[in-house]
Each structure stands twice: as structure tokens, then as C-alpha cells.
Chain A
Amino acid sequence: MALLEVSHLDVRFALRQGEVRALRDINFTLERGERLGIVGESGAGKSVAAFSLLNLIAKPGYIAGGSIKFEGQTLNTMSERGLRKVRGNRISMIFQDPMMTLNPVLSIGEQMVECLKAHRRISTKEARAISLDKLRQVQIPSPETRLDQYPHELSGGMRQRIIIAIALLLDPDIIIADEPTTALDVTIQAEIMALLLELCEQHNVGLILITHDLGVVSQVTQRMLVMYAGRVIEQGLTREIINDPQHPYTQGLINALPQMATPGEKLNQIRGSMPSLSNLPSGCAFHPRCDFINRADGQPRPACTQQVPEFVESGNCRVACHMVAEMLEDRRLKEETR
């Protein structure tokens, strides 16, 4: 049994204009010590996915179906009390913007100690000792003085180190990191990412890394999901997806990386933009932006605009694309006739 098993996760937002389906049929597993990347454009549902794992989505959002199993316990039906024992303890989170994440009126020490005390019966003195130890692990300069400082006295990079230290406080099984470096200076991004990777490896912590940086995903994770409009459209081994993306959207994302462009030319981009979740295109949600909607004979593929694509297995990956399905089918037929 996998450490974390998400199956058919369905998250909706009950808005005044009607229900919006933010996540549809998300399936993945995470093994102990494994690192999983979730990538996609803004609005694809990556953060909602991260928050729904710990049942932290704010109203009017709610988990409408599916299950999230952690060590066999179903988190999405668990009581708030039971969830609290998991949050920050077995599964901890790193938020996107370290400038907003720490409470401005509480000292770093208070914010670390309260987390330890919520999950363990220990004295403040012991809690401070553990906190100090974790601050050393995240290589913050002069850790002793940090405990009594307030967030505004620290830089963004230092704050994110502290948040990593808080994430590691209770030696969790999984860390969910929601774009942990997006809000940071480019020079610090690599440092923080390397630190996070190193600590996860060292403590054998599973990592769910949410990002739109394909470079980071390829360096850090073993498996990945590509999300589009609330749906996973391609998932599998990171190496395979990066080297040989199947879905036109994933191909577009990789093509859009600066290093894929010819010097002096415009950067590649995927035309159009992510559709609104409340007004999704028919069929495959990506079809209005897709370059492969036409078949080999030049006629548009009717399925693309009419039918939501099912997953097909392609090597070690699963892809939800009619074009890929058709290609695989042709190949299979050819092999049969041979």
C-alpha cells in the first residue's frame, strides 16, 4: 500500500453562479520518500489539489467525491480533530509566499513552539531546543537569535528557510510544497530548492512539489502530473515525460522553456490562455489551443471537440489525448496486420 493514495478526487466550488468543478478525477500515489511534481499553468488547479489533500480548501470549496488515503486512513472523511493530528505532524505544508505565511505579530520562536506543542507533550524549553536544531539544519545564519525575532526582521529567503524548518519540525512523512520558490529572488530560488531537496533525501520525506517550473520538476522529482483546467492530462515518470512528452499541452510547455528557443527569435508559446473553469470548452478542454486537432488527412478530429479524452497508457505514462490514443491504436492495428 502506498503512503498516500489519491483516487478519483473531485473538488467543487459552490459559487452563486453555480457549481464550478475545480478538480476532476485526480489519481496518484506517493510512496515513502518519493518526490512527485504537479505542474501546470496558473488556474490549472495545482494549489487546490495541494490544499484539498489536507482538507484545507476554504469554503465555498469542498471535496465532492473520491478519496485521499494516508497510511490507510481516509483523510477526506476524517473529523477535524483527527485531521489536526495529521496536519503539520505527518503531512506538513510549505506555502508560496514566505512574506505572507508567517504571522507578523508572533515571534519565530512562538510560531515554531506552538506547532511542536500542538502535536507533542513537551515543555517550551524542549520545544525551543528542537526548533533551534531545525533552524541549524536549514542553515540559517546565527540561528540562536532568530527564535526571538519577528518575521519582518528577516529577508524572504530566510523566512522560507524558517518555513522549511517548521515543515520539518515534527519529522513528517510528506511535505506538500506549493510553489515554494516562486515568490523568491531568482538567485535564492536555487538555494532554497537545493536545501529542500537535500533535507527531504536526508530524512526520507516524501515531497509533493507544486510548481510551474519544469526545470525544477525535472531535477527534483521522480514522477509528475501535468494538470490542465482541473484535470490531469499526463502523468508518469518525470524523466520520460520531460524527454518525450506525449500530450500536446505538455509538449507546448516544454517548448516554451527559454532554452528551447532559437537565440534572437521569439520564445515559443502556447497560443491562447487557460479557459475559465466555469466555462470549459466542450470535449477536450485543451482543443481550442491545440495544434494537433487535425488528423493526418487534414480533417479535424471530431472526438477532440465532442468527447472528453480517456487516459491511454503510453509506455510508463498515462495520457488523456485523442490524438495520442489514435496514434497508439494505429500502431496496434499495424502490428496486428503484420
Chain B
Amino acid sequence: MIAFLIKRLMHAVLVMFVISVLAFAIQDNLGDPVQQMVGQSVPESEREAIRERLGLNDSFLVQYVRFAKNAVQGDFGDSYFYREPALEVIARHLPATLELVFAATLIIVIFSVPIGVYSAIKPRSPLSRLFMGASIIGISIPVFLTAILLIQIFSIGITITLFPESTSWGAWLNGLLSTEGNMPSFGRGYNLVHVVGHWDTNLATWNGLQHLVLPAVSLASIMLPLFIRLIRAEMMEVLQSEYVKYARAKGISMRRVYFVHALKNTMLPVITVGGVQIGTMVAYTILTETVFQWPGMGLMFLDAINRADIPLIVTYLMIVGVIFVVTNTIVDLIYGFVNPTVKLTGKPA
């Protein structure tokens, strides 16, 4: 177990190294950070001085080695824009993103498992067909479009006058299809509860949760259909297996056959895919956070790119790399726990 974690730690270091090199390599193509910092009116000589002071005139190798030396000691450099340590800036934005990803993951888990299982057990039922059709649409619509649609429907509101308003049934149908549009669509709200350090949470107040709903739903909209289909496909395969037939022949209840015998085996590949997807979702937050102006890492990263804030960009990419490694490690631990045939370490049985 310890050996496994140490191995993963080395993975993380390797990943961070590779990402930092790649991120550094593209910095010349991101534009001139000095221009973003000081604006048009500052004379060229002064700009050159700032460049010199920031070490931007040094060769790639010198810059990288300097960065790496500091990074090993936990100093990832100062953000050009915020004028404070990049790590500090990220730490301030991280909780918002993690809460968003957590909420989206929760939505995915709560809906994908029952829907996936149902449509595997009853593949021909109209409801299953509806789910499958809807999931194709869900996968096809890009996140930002879903987000804008959600804002239109639930924040701005839509008024439907398709049916004759004069009749009572028409008015009723119109009322049923129209939405009021009182859901917040912007930022995290002001009712945040401070937890610890930089972590203010949306999860503790009704207002905070309301702010979280639309961004979380739109972030989940891409992965949810994917997971429904994945769970359905895996479950249908497992239901054909000999051990499911055998479980039925033992006379145990169908509920137990489905939810113990079949689901546990179904979840094995789903857990693996899920681990990778949680990392991917952190990356997807860039789109969602931009549409909803959610003050998390994704929005921060997009701003950093616009400002050519290289230390912040590099640090962000490295942190996302670490998040990938960490989630994968956690997933592998869970996998080892669920699947008895897998042993994480070569410990004697």
C-alpha cells in the first residue's frame, strides 16, 4: 500500500515535470506579458527594464531551470497580474472549482446509476428508449450551449403562448411550459459560509446551493449521458453472464441479482472511466465557469491566458496534472477495494 502510494507520488512528480516543460515551451506564443501588465503608454525602455527584471530575456533553458529550482521549494513564481504567488491565486480559486466538480459528480452518480441500470434491465421499454434518445442529444450539445439554454430557461424565463390563452386547457398548458426564470445565473452569490483557509462553501446555504445548480447541471450534461450509456452497455453484458444466470437459478430475489451480482461487476469498468472523467471535468470547468462567471480555476485560467500570465498558466496546468494523478490514485484504491481479483501491491495473499 505504502509502496503503491510512493509509486503514485513519483508519477505525480513526473507528470508535473512534463507538463511544466510543455507549458514553458509554449509561453513565447502567448503574447507579451509586459504589454498586458503596463499598457500602451509606458515607453519601450521601461518595458525592457521590466522584461529584464522578470528574466524574460533569458534563454528558455535558463528560465526553466530558475523556475524549476524555485518550484522544487514550493515557489511557483508570482502571477504577473495578481502580484502574488501563483499558488496562492490558485488556492483561492480552487475551492469554487472543486465544489462545482463535486456537485456535478454528485448529479452524475445520482442519475446515471439508476437510469443506466433501468435501461439495461428493460431495454425495450418506452422510458429506456426515451433515456437513450435524450442521452444522444445530451452528448451532442456542447457544454456552453447547454449552459446558455439553461440560463434562458431557468434564469431569464420563457413564456409559451403556443396554445390558445382563452381556453382553460390552453392557459394551463402555456403555464406549465413557461418558466419563471428566477434561478441565479451569475457567480457564487454572497451567502457563502467560510470553512477553512481559502475555502468558502456554496453547499451550506439555500442561496449558495441555488447558485450552484445551473453551473453543476451544465457541467454534468456532457458526462451524464456518457455514463448512462456506459453503465447500460456494461450492465447488459453482465446480465448475459453465467454467474447472473446461476444467481437466478439459486432462487435469490431479482433485486439482489441486479443490484448485488450484476451492478458490482458493472461498476468495475465504470469506476476506471469515471476516475479519468473527473479529471477531464476539471478541465471542462473552463467553459462552464466562463458562461456562469463562476469564480473558479477555469475562469481564472482563461483570464490568465488573455493576460499572458505565464507563471499562473504553468502552475494551473501543473495543478490540474496533479489532480488527475490524485483522482486516478483514489480510483485505483477504490477499484482495488471493489474488485477482489486486483491487488495493488505485491503483498502475499
Contacts and interface: CB of A to CB of B under 8 A. Distances in A.
Contacts of B249: 54, 56, 87-88, 92-93, 95
Interface string B226-254: 00000000000000111101111111111
Contacts of A105: 264-265, 268, 338-341
Given A104-B341, A105-B339, A150-B341, A86 B242 contact: no
A54 B247 CA distance: 13
A100 B243 contact: yes
A198 to B, nearest CB: 23
Interface string B130-142: 0000000000000
A101 B242 contact: yes
Given A100-B242, A150-B340, A106 B248 contact: no
A282 B254 CA distance: 42
A102 B245 contact: no
Task: Give the interface size bracket for B toward A.
Answer: 20 to 34
A185 interface: no
A152 B251 contact: no
Give the one of B253, B339, B340 with max A CB within 10 A: B340
Nearest to B242: A100
Contact of A88 (B252, B264, B349): B252
Contact of B246 (A80, A84, A95): A95
B243 A119 contact: no
Contacts of A114: 250, 252, 256, 260
A84 B251 CA distance: 4
B8 interface: no
Contacts of A166: 250
B26 to A, nearest CB: 45
Interface in A66-106: 80, 83-89, 92-93, 95, 97, 100-106
Main secondary structure of the interface of B (DSSP, over half): helix
Contacts of B245: 56, 58, 95
B251 A115 contact: yes
Contacts of A150: 340-341
Contacts of A80: 254
Contact of B242 (A95, A107, A153): A95
Contact of A97 (B242, B260, B264): B242
B198 interface: no
Given A100-B243, A114-B256, A87 B251 contact: yes
Nearest to A150: B340
Contacts of A257: none
B92 interface: no
B261 interface: yes
A118 interface: yes
Given A85-B251, A88-B252, A100 B265 contact: no
Contact of A118 (B240, B253, B341): B253
A59 B283 CA distance: 44
Contact of A86 (B240, B251, B252, B264): B251
Given A93-B249, A150-B340, A152-B340, A104 B256 contact: no
Contact of A119 (B246, B247, B251): B251
Give the one of A101, A105, A166 with max B CB within 10 A: A105
Nearest to B349: A153
Contacts of B268: 105
Interface of A: 54, 56, 58, 80, 83-89, 92-93, 95, 97, 100-107, 114-115, 118-119, 150, 152-153, 166
Given A58-B240, A102-B243, A119-B251, 18 more contacts: A54-B249, A56-B249, A58-B245, A83-B251, A84-B251, A84-B253, A86-B251, A87-B249, A87-B251, A88-B250, A95-B242, A104-B243, A105-B265, A105-B268, A114-B252, A115-B252, A118-B250, A118-B252
Interface of B: 240-243, 245-254, 256, 260-261, 264-265, 268, 338-341, 349
Q: What 3 A-B pairs have minimum CB-CB distances, sorted nearest first?
A: A88-B251, A87-B251, A88-B250
14 contacts: A58-B245, A84-B253, A88-B249, A89-B251, A92-B250, A101-B243, A101-B246, A105-B265, A105-B339, A114-B250, A114-B252, A115-B252, A150-B340, A152-B341
